[in-house]
Structure 1
Amino acid sequence: MQVTAVFRRWWAHHARLRDALPGVLTVLVAVAASAVGTGGSGWHAPRMDGVAWTALACAPLVVRTRWPLPVVLVTLAVDLAHMARTPDFSLSPAASLVALYTLATRASRRTAWAAGVTASLVITAVFAVTHSQSPFSGESLLRFDLAIAATALGDVNRSRRLRLAQVEARAERAERTREAEALRRVTEERVRIARELHDVVAHHMTLVNAQAGVAHHLLRTDPDLAYQALAHIKDNSRTALDELRATVGLLRQPDDAPDSPAPIPGLADLDSLVATLRANGLPVKLERTGLARPAAPTTELTAYRIVQEALTNTHKHASAKRVEVTLHYGADTLRVTITDDGLPGTGHDPGTTHGPGTARGPGTARGPGTGHGLIGMRERATAIGGTVTAGPRPDGGFRVHAELPLALTPQT
């Protein structure tokens, strides 16, 4: 097998040898045919004049794949001259047949068939004249058929090669598409995991950090309040662990099916979320308007995470005295609005770009946000066909507004 592979590689890099091989075989056959006596009566010395004409006609075949059409013209001219000078030599059009086959494999179909039909007619006419036969005789038509057959065989070979090339191109394109699709899905999954972990961890860690600061400040002056702050830290950290465990379980599922065993937060859990933030000092008012009705589980999860992120940013970056969360049920859309008043007269922190409450009061030591929260809100909303807008309010504070579809339309 190794010797065969080496020979094939060597043979593939020697085009002139491949081109010359049919001509060499034709000359050898011509030598053998010219040495046979008439009617197979015996052997005699080869007729070198006929062999010489055959070799002359086969010489251009050395470059038949490089210049197929000129080779057809030269070989045809030599074969016709040979046919006229030695009409009894039967191999005179052999080189032309090889050239016609090569032209059909290399040139366009129109060029190949034009040359093939023309050559067939010329060969048939010259043979009929030089052999004193009718153009419609069996031997004359045999020459015509051989030229047409050579062209047809080359055309079939060319079509097969083109089909194989198309199949290979489609396979390569499909492979590239699969790789690109796999990379896209991996990227989407990484973003999804990062978004889920950010929403779960950032909210609870913000509350734990705030309560830890309170406990540290009051530990010596007011141990009772410090004890309460530590109790809040315990509750929030336990809730964070439970929700993180649930989120990891959700990410292990093949999809976000409603019957997934991992608990998915929804709109019904907003009351508990608001109560937790109120207990940590954030004055939140939750209001529902319109005709409340069940929404798609993904819509409920998206709405919950948007509210959670917005309130977390308000608690983290603002000294708000009033925070309002409004859920409005429209005909087909759930509108979620979160507004805060920030701290009057302090303006907005330009470094914080990912949620409401960018205004920070005097003495606030918290730094600006990274922007991941607002990006996550928009990614969640866009994924289900919704939108999110966020920005400062004209009269101070910050506003986040999301419009989400109540029912999701299956993607086709």
Structure 2
Amino acid sequence: MGATLITNIGELTTNVGRDGDPCGTLHDAAVLIEGTRIAWVGPAGDAPGSGGGVEVVDVGGRAVIPGFVDSHTHLVFGGDRADEFEARMTGTPYAAGGIRRTVAATRAASDDELRARLAGFVSELHAQGTTTFEIKTGYGLTVVDEARLARLASEVTPEVTFLGAHVVPSEYAHRRDEYVELVCGDMLRACAPHSRWIDVFCEEGAFSVDESRRILLAGIEAGLLPRVHGNQLGYGGGVGLAVDVDAYSVDHCTYLSDADVMALAGSDTVATLLPGVEFSTRQPYPDARRLLDAGVIVAIASDCNPGSSFTSSMPLMIALAVREMGMSPSEAVWAATAGGARALRRDDVGAIAPGRRADLVLLEAPTRVHLAYRPGVPLIAEVWSEGVPVRAAPA
């Protein structure tokens, strides 16, 4: 694989902090890609020579940012829940039980059907600038189905999360203890070979703090890394549990007590906010400003799923974070790139610096601010994933 020099970049977001700017902004910049990695970053006038087979891409003063890192998705599923969305928009409140509808549709789908749909979602992600993404299981809820979802997800990303503890399936409605035992035992053993992470929906209507702790500790014992769905539907123990078990991320964080915020600020646990959920459920948005001012590490992600956030658009997440959650445009872009990388404990993505993976997004705009300033406008002009251009889908 040859070398590519991207030059005449009007505004380059490196996410390598400098002079109080966590986005590490450079103007009139250039980036040299060699193979799958970034080899050099700096002023365009100082760029290495363009000879010797180096392809030069002049971007005409437009902005370049790191590829988005979407650290929370549920992309392997069957069926559709548009009727549920329509009902919510006319007054029906959101509840966790709708997951069981998707479980039934997913169990009925073949591997080829799920694989084809997943491929479509991956293309959709790339077209919108996402180059690194996590995928959870959680729509199978049997040993066989959870294992196949983990296997299918692992075909497209190394960031696979075992979420057998999404909800208790209908057939175990009166046997919760047996289902928790299944998740901690046979299901975990079947899914662990295909997974990096373990997650649990710690929420009223899903799993209690005690059940969640037992499941997470079983996953940790099996070599998986912990994450938590927590504090989405109300105040609860999800954040405290996440900090207690040193979870890498606690996701949603819609309802937080002062103690929750203090616990997060004193930990390495990332608070991953999912504004697409609030957009789709009409719940209150989480207060990102409160978290940032307390010193909490914040990421934003899409939570792409058929029930509560059926969008894969990280540009939309940025716009919502700025408009509804108190973030500045630069904070939101950082959270959607470097923040997501922190939530996945990845040091090879989320920034544009020598040695990092060559994941870059060219915007059809002069600055990253336009991602929030021009919501809904297709601003992703080109995407490089591991140094290879990924053709954007038609707008």
TM-score by length of 1: 0.20
Higher-Rg structure is: 1
Q: Which has the higher contact order (CA 8 A, sep 6+)?
A: 2
TM-score by length of 2: 0.21
Higher helix share: 1
Higher strand share: 2
